Amino acid sequence: LGVFTGVKTPDDLGNENFTVKSSGPAIFAEYKAGQQARPGFLATYTSATCAHTLSYTENQGSVEDGSGPLVYSPRSDCYFFINPDTPAMGVAFVFETLDLDSTTTLSLYEGSLVDEDKLIR
């Protein structure tokens, strides 16, 4: 689905959040903090229902880097598996906040594992 770094806010996008959608039933997010401490990210997710890793099985919710109101810890790795209990046609990953230094990445993959061939671009 993509690799994201830098700072993106709704104000940068004309007061709109930006959305990344999977074409399949799940998204796996890999978060790797770089060398600097920054505010991190906060995103919500929703799924279109039809026919240490943290797992999310609700049809919608929010996921964040885990730092809360603080800056994220340098050199920390987090994994999030978003796989709604109700079968989904796709999962939308809507960024509300993205403030990462240039050495920090958030990668989104189709499916359930880190697989470079499944990286969403």
**For 74-119, how does the pLDDT look when each residue is reduced to its tens digit (9 = 90+)?**
667 788 888 888 876 788 888 888 888 888 888 999 888 888 888 8
pLDDT tens readout for residues 39-83: 888 888 875 443 367 788 888 888 877 665 666 666 677 888 888
Give me the residues paired with residue 121 across strands: none
Residue 107 CA to residue 121 CA, distance in Å, equals 9
0.85 surpassed by pTM: no
pLDDT for 55 equals: 83
> Does the structure show a pLDDT above 70 at 11?
no
